[in-house]
Structure 1
Amino acid sequence: MTTRSTTLPRRHRSALASQRARAVTLWRQVLAALNDDTLDDAAREQMVARGAAQLAVRRTPEGQQPAPDEVMAVSFEEFALLLDVEQARAALAEIDHAHG
C-alpha cells in the first residue's frame, strides 16, 4: 500500500501562513473598532464594513467579486451590524483599491 504525503510545499505553507496572519489582523482591527469608545459611529461602521468586505471576498470563489448584498449579509451575520448598499459598495471599492 502506497501512502501519499499530505505535506504542502513550502511556498504553499508560507502563503497559508500569510493569509492566516492577515485574517487575524483583520479580526483584531474589527474587534478593536467595535470596542473603541473614542471612535465615532461612522468610523466604527467603516472599519466593520471593510472587515465584512474582506470576509466576503475570501468567501467568494476565486476570480469573482462579491456583490454588495454579500458584504451586507456578512456584516450582519458576523458583526450584527446593518450596512446599507452604499457602505457595502464603498468597502468593496476600498478593498479593491488596496489590492489592485
Structure 2
Amino acid sequence: MYILGWYFTMADFAKRFGAGRPLDAFGERILGPYYEKCKVITGTPRPLLSSSFAGKCCIVYIASTSVPGSLEPSRLNGMIEGLKDALGENTEPQWIRLPVSPL
C-alpha cells in the first residue's frame, strides 16, 4: 500500500510540532490550523497521521491506494494547499510505501 503525504522523523516532528504524543501535536498544531484555513470548503476531508515509534517516523497523509475515493484530484488539491500551510512545508507530498523501513 502507498500513502500520499509528508514524512518526518520522530525527532523532526517533535521539534517542529511539539514534544509529547504525536497524536496530540497533530490535533493541536496541524489539524486546528488546517481546518481554520479550509473552513470555507464544505465537507473538508480530514488528513491522517501515521506514527511508528519502532520506525521512528510520523507521516501526515491525505490519500491511500487502499481507498480509491481519496485519490480524487479535486479533493486532493484543496487538502494539499491547506496542509502545506499548516505544516509549514513548501514541498509537495510524496508517495510513501508502507510499511516504512526504519532509518
How does the TM-score come out when normalised to structure 1?
A: 0.34
Higher relative contact order (CA 8 A, sep 6+): 2
Larger Rg: 1
How does the TM-score come out when normalised to structure 2?
A: 0.33
Larger helix percent: 1
